[in-house]
A and B are shown apart, each in its own frame.
Chain A
């Protein structure tokens, strides 16, 4: 039964992985202030960078907004004030983000889906080893409160000896990327592995994980898995 749960996963293309970028990209592209030229330009930029967080894209967007609101500025007086203004705005918005950035399952997914599988030339997202619906996050967004993330992974075969390594890769990736308020729990999805409990116990033992991270050989393998992360 569960023996073949994820033995032959349908391989997903990178662009088939769940993402929220598409939706927000549409919003951005169809934003009310746009005209054909600005949409074209931003679409081009999106193609190059694939990220809405790109500074260039944000700056262009801001510029477009300003241009659509105002009549073209007089170059003499506004040239100086314009970049200053946008800079100041981006600094404050960054600060606000830091103060209360709620982290959700999609964000966790984006952090770990691109980790390479140790034996296939594919990512954990493509192999459906990690799935968006198997990530639970409890986060108030408050930096001074503890938050929790629970990730259930689906190894590709029930006796996959690399399950521990995959779990370790995910843990290292998250410990390096998430704010310190997060407690991370990584579990094998029920019925997906012969020695589920042993692997789970090992993956969530902070002392063993700490020791593993001082093992150069192991760390080398993990680093290789993480190279493909964006």
Chain B
């Protein structure tokens, strides 16, 4: 077992943190209090650099996402809209973001927003049971809805894109994950992942090239790994549940993240952060940390790259973002343990 060590703890809100995303050295967070906060992270320096205009949304910010390789941020809110924010170039050296667009379309609470790896598609999902795919231009100013996907029978809680392909996964209150694929600008559901016995709160793709796999976390307190097996004659994808990860969580699993290092991390209502490693085709718990946000629940976990190191960030009901590193107790011992 390795140990999970707290690097830094940032108290950003009085209320719940629902979501966080990190890109180009800047952490964005969304909270119940409608404020999006931006924290610059450089070396050991953590500085709050901007608080975005809280009047843009009338209800909680549920999800935030940076457009890959840009300073464009999307935020989904319970007020049923999605806001797009861009860096104010004329602000010079200081970092300021302005509201660029408000996207309307969903009937009620937006629960997830996610950019495709090339940044041209934005996917949004809502309690209205639908997933919308928006196409945008280089500047991210115009948004055209190219598909409304309505196959889920209940709220859609979360959306995430494949790291390189035009493949989308959506997690739902109907206990399933659906995989969506682009056929000449027509998005179709190519697979339904059945198995969880409760709401699926989030999912994340394997980052290994040539491997098409997905992990998912659920209300049933389990984390599952799914694997793509091939296409059938009708163009449907066959996916199987490859593994149910070792039983760590005692309550709902709210967030999972699959790192470039091949490790999966999960968090949930029990305040536990767990890291799993695959060894010889079998998943083992590599490290576990309890009460990561005191007695509060953890809503989100993400792997991120900081100073060439891979670390984790978690956000909780206590309004705190914690940064964690994974370290061995002593190399020799961990070697012998194998």
Q: Hey, which bits of chain A sit against chain B, CB under 8 A?
A: 143-146, 179-181, 183, 201, 205-208, 210-211, 214
Do A146 and B111 touch (CB < 8 A)?
Answer: no
Cα separation A180 to B269 with both chains bound (whole Å): 12
A198: nearest residue on chain B (CB-CB)? B154
Q: Is the interface of A mostly helix, strand, loop or mixed?
A: loop
Do B199 and A214 touch (CB < 8 A)?
Answer: no
Q: A201-B199, A210-B60 are in contact. Are A146 and B16 (CB under 8 A)?
A: no
Do A145 and B295 touch (CB < 8 A)?
Answer: yes
Cα separation A144 to B290 with both chains bound (whole Å): 11
**14 contacting pairs across A/B (C-beta < 8 A):** A146-B270, A183-B297, A201-B198, A201-B199, A205-B173, A205-B219, A206-B252, A207-B157, A208-B155, A210-B60, A210-B78, A211-B78, A211-B109, A214-B59
Q: Pick the contact of A180: B173, B219, B295 (CB < 8 A).
A: B295
Chain A min CB distance to B104 (Å): 18
Chain A residues within an 8 Å CB radius of B269: 183, 206
Cα separation A143 to B251 with both chains bound (whole Å): 19
Interface residues on B, range: 20 to 34
Chain A residues within an 8 Å CB radius of B16: 210
Chain B residues within an 8 Å CB radius of A145: 295
Q: Is the interface of B mostly helix, strand, loop or mixed?
A: loop
Chain A residues within an 8 Å CB radius of B32: 210
Given A143-B295, A180-B317, list of 12 further CB < 8 A pairs?
A144-B295, A145-B295, A146-B271, A180-B296, A183-B251, A183-B269, A205-B173, A206-B252, A206-B269, A210-B32, A211-B127, A214-B59
Chain A min CB distance to B55 (Å): 15
Chain B min CB distance to A156 (Å): 27
B291 at the interface (CB under 8 A from A): yes
Cα separation A146 to B219 with both chains bound (whole Å): 18
Contact with A along B29-60 (1 / 0, CB 8 A): 00010000000000000000000000000011
Q: Pick the contact of A214: B60, B219, B252, B270 (CB < 8 A).
A: B60
Chain B residues within an 8 Å CB radius of A201: 173, 198-199
Cα separation A211 to B80 with both chains bound (whole Å): 11
Do A206 and B157 touch (CB < 8 A)?
Answer: no
Chain B min CB distance to A105 (Å): 20
Do A206 and B199 touch (CB < 8 A)?
Answer: no
A182: nearest residue on chain B (CB-CB)? B295
Chain A min CB distance to B130 (Å): 16
Chain B residues within an 8 Å CB radius of A211: 59-60, 78, 109, 127
Cα separation A210 to B62 with both chains bound (whole Å): 10
B294 at the interface (CB under 8 A from A): yes
Cα separation A211 to B317 with both chains bound (whole Å): 15
Cα separation A223 to B173 with both chains bound (whole Å): 28
Do B291 and A214 touch (CB < 8 A)?
Answer: no
Chain A min CB distance to B143 (Å): 24
Chain A residues within an 8 Å CB radius of B199: 201, 205
Contact with A along B179-199 (1 / 0, CB 8 A): 000000000000000000011
Cα separation A210 to B17 with both chains bound (whole Å): 12
Chain B min CB distance to A206 (Å): 7
Chain B min CB distance to A124 (Å): 26
Cα separation A47 to B16 with both chains bound (whole Å): 42
B79: nearest residue on chain A (CB-CB)? A214
Q: Which residues 287-320 of B have a CB within 8 angstroms of A?
A: 291, 294-297, 317-318
Do B111 and A144 touch (CB < 8 A)?
Answer: no
Cα separation A162 to B295 with both chains bound (whole Å): 32
Do A144 and B294 touch (CB < 8 A)?
Answer: yes
Cα separation A23 to B62 with both chains bound (whole Å): 48
Cα separation A116 to B60 with both chains bound (whole Å): 28
Chain B min CB distance to A183 (Å): 6
Chain B residues within an 8 Å CB radius of A205: 173, 199, 219
Chain B min CB distance to A127 (Å): 30
Q: Pick the contact of A207: B111, B271, B291, B295 (CB < 8 A).
A: B111
